[in-house]
Amino acid sequence: MAIAPTPGARLTYERAGSGPALLHIGGTGGDLRRPPHPLAWPGAKRFDQVAYDHRGLGRSIARDPEAQPTMADFAGDALALADHLGWERFALIGVSFGGMVAQEVAIRAGDRVTRIVLACTSSGGAGGSSAPLHEILMRPRAERDAAMVELIDTRTREDARLRAEFAVLLAAVPEPDDRARRGLMAQLEARRHHDTWSRLPGIAAPTLVAAGRHDALAPLANSSALAGAIPNARLEIFDGGHAFLSQDPRAWPAIAEFLGAA
């Protein structure tokens, strides 16, 4: 574990592997102390990869816990971390909320970004928004988890075994403490206003948009829209839902191959 001071936060990050620089931007409510670990995927060791906790979450601390960050602020955190690491150019993996942040990073500092993977995410605006977690996560836990199971994978509506598996995984996620709850609320509020749609043509880096066929949290139509709006992008669809990265064994090798391409 290491700490990067940024204008808006003290970011906790972890680093592993060797090779081209790769910044992994995680999703809503993420915490590096909880599995699956973003640095432990097939092919990860081929890259000098860094993953971090967003401000106010995990072990990262927002400098002003009462301030409401924007998506641009979250992108600023990512860029400040890259500066701290001495990375002039780097590739990006953005997963879910992290994919939204990655879009902002690529639009804001595209000359620094070599390749981008946008996984199970959305552009907002006319390209479609991901499910309204700012509403869903405020429900009582049993109601919230039941809704999330169906959003994570639409097959759970018919597949009792799969539904039970996801229910167990969600039940194991601890309730956030007061500090983490503030960080989560700030993250959800920024997410609610995410809209890069009209600016996506400004992303120049080769982009892989990776989607789960059965994802209702970030629907496949949103990924199709992203791939169509980014000039140098392609869409690849995997067998799974919002968790397709752990459901389809083809996913990580395909991502590693894309990121490793010259």
DSSP 210-260: EEETT-TTTTHHHHHHHHHHSTTEEEEEESSSTTHHHH-TTHHHHHHHHHH
Average confidence (pLDDT) over 217-229: 98
Q: Which helix (H) or strand (E) holds 60?
A: none
Report residue 79 as tokens. Answer: 């860029």
3-state secondary structure of 85: helix
pLDDT recorded at residue 261? 62
Task: Report the mean per-residue pLDDT for the chain.
Answer: 96
Residue with tokens 């620094």: 112
Closest residue by Cα to residue 196 from 153, 235, 229, 147: 229
CA 136/CA 152 separation, integer angstroms: 13
Average confidence (pLDDT) over 237-251: 97
Evaluate whether 44 touches 16 at the Cβ level (below 8 Å).
Answer: yes
3-state secondary structure of 39: coil
Average confidence (pLDDT) over 129-148: 95
Pair type for strands 48-52 and 9-16: antiparallel
**How far apart, in Å, are the Cα atoms of 2 and each of 57, 72, 203, 221, 233?**
15, 23, 30, 38, 33
Q: Using 50, 70 and 90 to split pLDDT, how confident is the model at 127?
A: very high
Evaluate whether 58 touches 179 at the Cβ level (below 8 Å).
Answer: no
Burial class (CB in 10 A: 0-12, 13-18, 19+), 232: exposed
Set out the domains of the chain in order of their start, with CATH numbers: 2-260 (3.40.50.1820)
**How far apart, in Å, are the Cα atoms of 195 and each of 33, 101, 176, 226?**
30, 11, 27, 12
Q: Indicate the pTM of the whole model.
A: 0.96
Is residue 262 over pLDDT 50? no
Range with the poorest average pLDDT among 9-13, 35-39, 204-208: 35-39
Closest residue by Cα to residue 21 from 90, 95, 92: 90
Q: What percent of the chain has pLDDT over 70?
A: 99
pLDDT digits (tens, 9 = 90+) for 59-81: 999 999 999 999 999 999 999 99
